[in-house]
Structure 1
Amino acid sequence: MSSLLQHPGHEEESLQRVSDQLPCREVQAGTLLSLMGQYSYPSIFIYGHRSSGKSHVLHVLLKELELPHAPVSCVECVSVALLFEQVLLSFFGADAASLLPRSPSLSDFVRVYRNQCSQSPAEQTRYIVMEKAELLRDADANLLPALLRLQELVEDNVTVILLSEIVWDKFRPNTGCFEPLLLHFPDYSKGELQHILSHDRHPSYSAEFYSSYINILLGVFYSVCRDLRELRHLPHAMNVAFTCFCVSSVKETDTHKLWRNMEPHLKKAMQTVYLREVSSLQWEKMQQMEEKESGALRGLSAHTHVELPYYSKFLLIAAYLASYNPARTDKRFFLKHHGKIRKTNFLKKNEKTSNHLLGPKPFPLDRLLAIFYSVVDSRVAPTASIFSQISSLVTLQLLTQVSHDDQLDAPKYKCAVSMDFICHLYGIYKHLL
C-alpha cells in the first residue's frame, strides 16, 4: 500500500515509516507535514483531549524526518530559566546554555539566541515543542506572546509548537497576542481504537481472533473509557481477561462461549478503570484469595460483597478501628516506636465491657486519616481522590457523618458496617500490605 503522506522535501521511504507508526492519524500528520517546510509559520497550536495522539504524531514526524527540534516539558521546566536553557541546549549545545545569567530574562534569552544564530545559521526550520502548554498561562505575562512570535524576535527560522488539552479561546491572553495556526486532534472512534489495539496482538494468535477479543473488550469499556492510554494499561483487563479468553477448550470461532468465560473478570475490572490503584500482580492475588474464601463467605449477607475501590476498603477498615478503639490506644496500636506503656490500670472499669456491645463511637476526620496511613504503611499521598472516597462511603451508608452541617472544620463520622464485613476485607487484602 502506498504512503498516504506526500512531501517533495522528504523521501518516500521515510514517509512510509512515518505512516506505519501513525495508524488512524494520517490526516493530522499530513496537515502538520504540509506546515513543516523550509520556511514555516511562526507558531502552531495543537489541541485535543488526552491520549488523542498529539505528542506521538509530532514526535514521530520530527524523529523519522530528522528535523531539528527542542522538546520542552512545561511540567518539568518549573522556571523560565530552565525553559530557556533547554532550548539553547537542544539547538546549540551546552556552551550556549552556559552563556545565560543565573536568573535570565526574556531579553537575555533573545540576545544569546541571536548571537548563536549568527554563528550557526539554520539550514532548515527549527522547532520548539511545548508539552502541557496550558501551564504557560501561569508564567510571566510577556512569555507566551513572545514565544508566539519568537521567529520575529530572534530573526531565525524557528517555529514554536504548543500542545494543549484546552481550546485556544481559554488560552488566549487578555492583552492580546499573535494568533497561531490551530490544529485539532479529535478523539479516536471505536473502530479506530479497535484497529490500534489490534496491533498489540501476540504472533501466536491470529489477527481475526485477537480482533474479536478487542471488539468484546471495547464493547464493555467504550461506554466508560475512551482513553487509548488507559485501555492499554488495564493490566487486569488486558492480561487476565485475555488469558481466560484463550485458555479454554472452546474454539476460536465460538465467541459466545469465550465471552462467558471472561465476563466475570471484565466486570470486576470495570471498578478500577481510571483509578490506577491496583497493579496486575495485586489484582491476581485478590482473585486467588476471593476464590479460596468464596466457600467460607457464603453465609454472609449480600451487603458484604459490595464492590469498592482499593483504598476505600482500607479507609473502611481504618474507620472501624477508630469507632471501636479508644483514641488513647492509637499510639500503642499504630506506632512502631511508642515507648513503654504501663499495663496496670490501662483500662478503666467502664471500658472492660466489649466495645462491640456498646456500638460504634464517633471519631474526627484527622484520626481516620492517621489510622489509614498507618494501615497502608504510608504508601499513598493525601490527594483529593482519598477525600472523595470518604464522601462516597458516606453516600453508600458505609460511614455515617454525625457532626452538624455547620462544623465544616472538624467533621465526625461513625462506622456503619459489621465486624464480618471488616473481617472479609482484611482477609482478602492483608496479603497485599
Structure 2
Amino acid sequence: MTALLQHPGYDEERLKGVAEKLPCREVQAEMLLSLMGQPHQYSYPSILIYGHRASGKSHVMHVLMKELELPHATVSCVECVSIALLFEQVLLSFFGCDAPSLLPRSPSLSDFVRVYRQQCSQSPAKQTRYIVMEKAELLRDTDASLLSALLRLQELVGDNVTVILLSEIAWDKFRPNTGCFEPLLLHFPDYSKSELQQILSQNVHSSYSAGFYSAYINILLGVFYSVCRDLRELRHLAALNFSKFCEPLAEGKVKETDTHKLWKHIEPHLKKAMQTVYLREVSSLQWEQMQQMEEKEAGALRGLSAHTHVELPYYSKFLLIAAYLASYNPARTDKRFFLKVKEYNNNTFFMFSHTSNHLLGPKPFPLDRLLAIFYSVVDSRVAPTASIFSQISSLVTLQLLAQVSHDDQLDAPKYKCAVSLDFICAISRTVNFDIVKYLYDFL
C-alpha cells in the first residue's frame, strides 16, 4: 500500500506513516497528493472533496496536513457562525495572533483580502498554504460572493494558497447560480463491507485476540450493514455491544472459537440496538445501565427496547394513551369507561363474546373522540389550546400516531395509534395511569 503514496517532494518515511494511518483510503490520498503537487509548486486554486458522511474526507485531510507538516488552516463552517470568525481563523493560522487584530470590527471580503496581502508581503509563502473548509455546503447560506471569492482566492491575494472544500453534497447542487470558478472535484466513495471489516477490526481489545475481535465485527456487520454504512455509527455500535458479546467468554461457558454460541447470545441484544441506529437516544453508559436493569428486573421493563424510554411532554403522554384507547376500544364502550356521572347505571353495560381488538389491530378514530378521551383521562383541567393540537402533530411526526385521512378532506382528520402494548404500558407507568383497567380486551 505504501507504493501508492510515493510522490516527489515528500519524504518516503512520512508517506509510509500516512499510508498506515489511512487504511482503505490510499487511492484517494494518492490522487489528492497528485492534485496538490510538490510543496514549493503552485497548486490548483480550489479543490472540492465530496462524499457521504463518514467516508474519510476530514480524516484524510487531517492526516496529510499533520504528517507532512503542511501549512494549513482548518475552518469548520459550523463553528464559524459569521464571516468575521472565518477570516480571523485563517489569518491566525497563517500569520500569528497579531494579524486578526488588523481587521475592522465587521470586516468585509475586501478587508480580508487587504490584510492577507499585507501579511503575505511580510511573510511570503515558501510552500503552498491550504485552507480546509469542513461542512462547506453551509457556505451556500452566507453571502453569495463569499464562495466565489474563496474558489479564486489564490488570484485575489496573489499568494500560493489552495482552498479545499469538504462537503457531503455534489458540486451540481453546490454551484452558485451566479457562476464561479470551477474547482477540481474528487469523490470519496462509501466504504465497502470488506473495508469496514478491515477498519473496525483494528480497534482490537487488549484482553482478546485479533481473530476473536474480527469475528465479532463480522457478526456486527452481518446485522447492521444492510441498514447502516456509517463508519462512526458502526464503531459506536461495536463498542456498545462488545462487552455483552464477551459475557459467556468471561464466565467460562464458551471458548473464543465457539462463534455460533456467542452469536446466539448476542443476537437479541443486536436486535434491540437495531431499533436505535442513528437515534442515539441514550449514551453508552445509559445503555449499559438499562441492560443491567433489565437483567435484574424480571418484570415489566424486560423486553422493551431503548426506544420505549424516549421522553415525551406530560400532556403528549396522555394524548398517546387516549389514542391507544380510542384505537383498541369500541366506540360504544366510551360511555362505560369515561363517563364521570355517578348516576350512570353499570348494569346497562353488557359483555359480549368478541374477537380481541389487539389481534385485529388498531382502528381509526376521529379527532373529536381522541380529545374527548384525553380530557377524561388527564388528571387536571386542561384548556383546549393550540399547544394540545401541536402536540398531536408532533406525535404524528414521531410516527407514534398515524394520520389515515387526507388533509384536504372536509371531514375531521382520523388517526390510528402506532405503538405496541408494551410501549403504552411503559408510558402509562411514568404518569401513574393504569391503562389496563380501561382496555375492553382485558375486562
TM over 0.5: yes
Deviations 1:234-278 (A, max 9, x none): 277433433336435212222111100111111111111110111
Shift of 1:146: 1.0
Aligned residues, how many? 378
Query: Which residue number corresponds to residue 392 of structure 1?
Result: 399
Residue 142 of structure 1 aligns to a residue whose secondary structure is helix
Displacement, 1:138? 1.5
Aligned residue runs from structure 1 range 135-214, under 5 A: 135-214=138-217
Distance 2:186 2:421 in 1: 57
**Residue in 1 aligned with 2:325?**
none
Match of 1:46 in 2: 49
1:109 aligns to 2:112 (yes or no): yes
Partner of 1:124 in structure 2?
127
- TM-score scaled to structure 1, two decimals? 0.76
Q: Superposition pairs for residues 413-424 of structure 1, below 5 Å?
A: 422-424=424-426
Matched, 1:61 2:58: no
Note if 1:260 corresponds to 2:257: no
Go from structure 1 to structure 2 and tell me whether the alpha carbon gap of 1:390 and 1:177 turns closer, same or farther (over 3 Å shift). closer
Of structures 1 and 2, the larger Rg is shown by: 2
Q: What is the aligned counterpart of 1:283 among 269, 284, 287?
A: 287
* Matches of 2:100 and 2:188, distance apart in 1: 34
Matched, 1:250 2:254: yes
* Higher mean C-alpha deviation, range 239-248 or range 50-59: 239-248
Cα distance, 1:428 vs. partner?
9.2
Aligned residues of 2:51 and 2:167 also touching (Cα < 8 A):
yes
Map of 1:231 onto structure 2: 234
Match for 2:104: what amino acid? P
C-alpha distance in structure 2 between counterparts of 1:119 and 1:77, whole Å = 27
Cα distance in 1, alignment partners of residues 44 and 420 from structure 2: 66
Measured at CA, do residues 160 and 5 of structure 1 come closer, stay the same or move farther in structure 2, by a change above 3 Å?
same
Paired amino acid for 1:360: I
Which region of structure 1 is more displaced relative to structure 2, 254-263 or 277-286?
A: 277-286
> Which consecutive residues of structure 1, in runs of 5 or more, have no partner in the other structure?
299-304, 326-348, 373-385, 396-400
| Alpha carbons of structure 1 residues 418 and 175: separation in structure 2 relative to 1, 3 Å | closer
Give SS of 1:15's match.
helix
Tell me, yes or no, if the aligned pair for 2:78 and 2:138 is still in contact at 8 Å.
yes
**Residue identity in the other structure for 1:120:** S
Residue 429 of structure 1 deviates from its aligned partner by: 12
Cα displacement string for residues 151-183 of structure 1 (whole angstroms, at most 9, x for unaligned residues)? 111110000000000001111111211111110
CA contact (8 A) 1:361 1:414 kept: no
Q: 1:428 to 1:257 in 2, by over 3 A?
A: farther
Instruction: Choose from 280, 292, 307 the match for 1:309.
Output: 307
Secondary structure in structure 1 of the residue aligned to 2:201: helix
Secondary structure of the residue that 2:54 maps to in structure 1?
A: coil
Cα distance, 1:287–1:311 mapped onto 2, change above 3 Å:
closer
| Equivalent position amino acid for 1:258 in 2 | L
1:279-358 matched pairs, under 5 angstroms? 279-294=283-298, 307=305, 309-310=307-308, 312=310, 314-315=311-312, 318-321=315-318, 350=341
Map of 1:30 onto structure 2: 30
> Is the contact between residue 364 and residue 411 of structure 1 (CA under 8 Å) also seen in structure 2?
no
Please list the CA deviations of residues 64-97 of structure 1 after superposition, one character each: whole Å capped at 9, or x if unmatched: 1110001111111122111111111110112111
Q: Does 1:366 align with 2:357?
A: no
Give the Å deviation of 1:322: 5.2
Q: Distance in 1 between matches of 2:235 and 2:133?
A: 25
TM-score (ref. length: structure 2): 0.75
Equivalent residue letter for 1:59:
H
Distance 1:206 1:259, change over 3 A: same
Change (3 A) 1:11 1:315: same
| 1:87-125 CA distance string (max 9 Å, x none) | 111101121111111111111111111111111100000
Which SS does the other structure have where 1:315 is aligned? coil
